[in-house]
């Protein structure tokens, strides 16, 4: 399968290993910009889906953004919107899937656990993620996870940015 200029084979998607490094703060230019925008709204009551996102200010970041709605009090997450940047990782659009349908086992537990912590304490997470297959890094990106609020402004959701590195 061809996805955004990167040859993606189903065998690679299914057997790739995610290797992550926790970062203290965003490094990627676009992740820094998103984090700054989020902080300015968080200080004034929160970042709201439908009010602050989408917006002209964030338009250039939309392909990198994804929204996750907690399901069953955060046991799983419904992918409400998956930016096109994720097609490079999965070789398909994962909008409408549950996180447990995209990841399994310890990988699911790790990602869902990070997202649950963001829901609980509102603190972002930042990871450098490498997708490794047969010892080679196939993709490298920075993953920023932020607490946002649902369109009715009542429920915490997760917004993530997946910012690819060109190396």
Residues 75-113 have pLDDT tens digits of 999 999 999 988 877 889 999 999 999 988 998 999 999
Among 65-69, 139-143, 158-162, which stretch is predicted with the lowest mean pLDDT?
139-143
DSSP 153: S
pTM: 0.85
Q: What is the CATH number of domain 2-164?
A: 3.30.450.20
Tell the residue number behind the tokens 């959701």, with chain if given.
157
- Residue 126 contacts residue 22 (beta carbons within 8 Å): yes
Using DSSP bridges, classify how beta strands 6-7 and 17-22 pair: parallel, antiparallel or unpaired.
Answer: unpaired
Mean pLDDT over residues 102-130, rounded?
93
């Amino acid at each position: 399968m061809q996805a955004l200029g990167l040859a993606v084979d189903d065998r690679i998607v299914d057997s790739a290993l995610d290797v992550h490094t926790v970062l203290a703060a965003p490094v990627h230019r676009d992740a820094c910009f998103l984090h700054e925008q989020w902080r300015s709204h968080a200080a004034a009551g929160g970042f709201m889906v439908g009010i602050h996102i989408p917006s002209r200010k964030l338009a250039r970041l939309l392909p990198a953004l994804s929204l996750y709605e907690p399901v069953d009090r955060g046991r799983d997450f419904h992918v409400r919107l998956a930016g096109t940047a994720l097609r490079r990782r999965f070789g398909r659009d994962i909008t409408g899937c549950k996180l447990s349908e995209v990841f399994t086992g310890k990988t699911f537990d790790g990602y869902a656990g990070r997202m649950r912590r963001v829901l609980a304490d509102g603190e972002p997470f930042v990871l450098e993620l490498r997708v490794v297959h047969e010892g080679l890094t196939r993709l490298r990106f920075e993953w920023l996870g932020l607490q946002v609020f649902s369109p009715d402004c009542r429920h915490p959701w997760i917004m993530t940015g997946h910012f690819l590195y060109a190396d």
